């Protein structure tokens, strides 16, 4: 079954995950979500497959997170997804999808959960 990695190629953890997948021989596709933005529907699907609240994907140290004052409020899933689609820097990475399961491969060792 093919694995899809949603990543930012300059991210250190993304590079580690990509390298580990290559070395495992897994059939995979890498998607740079800065060049190929995720749709709201796709991000919603990934969040559902991860079994988490969308706001759990927020990168809390990012400037945009602070600027939008997201720490000061509860953000419903639909709004969190819209914000991450509009501001990709808000989204944790890499997200690894295989079939009906997806994980946030952070740290890279979590990759074992999907291989």
Q: Does the pTM of the predicted model rise above 0.85?
A: yes
**Count of CB atoms within 10 A of residue 3's CB?**
19
Question: Which domains does the chain carry?
Answer: 3-113 (3.40.30.10)
Mean pLDDT of the chain: 95
Position 14 confidence tier, pLDDT thresholds 50, 70, 90: very high
Clarify whether 11 is annotated catalytic. Answer: yes
Per-residue pLDDT of 24-62, as tens digits, reads 998 999 999 999 999 999 999 999 999 999 999 999 999
Residue among 1, 4, 8, 11 flagged as catalytic: 11
Confidence at residue 64, expressed as pLDDT on a 0 to 100 scale = 96
């Amino acid at each position: 079954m093919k694995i899809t990695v949603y990543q930012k190629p300059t991210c250190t953890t993304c590079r580690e995950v990509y390298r580990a997948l290559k070395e495992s021989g897994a059939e995979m596709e890498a998607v740079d979500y800065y060049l190929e933005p995720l749709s709201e529907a796709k991000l919603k699907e990934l969040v559902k497959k991860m079994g988490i609240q969308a706001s759990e994907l927020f990168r809390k140290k990012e400037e945009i997170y602070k600027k939008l004052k997201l720490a000061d409020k509860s953000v419903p899933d639909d709004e969190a997804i819209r914000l991450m689609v509009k501001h990709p820097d808000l989204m944790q990475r890499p997200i690894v999808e295989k079939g009906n399961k997806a994980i946030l491969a952070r740290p890279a060792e979590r990759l074992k959960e999907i291989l």
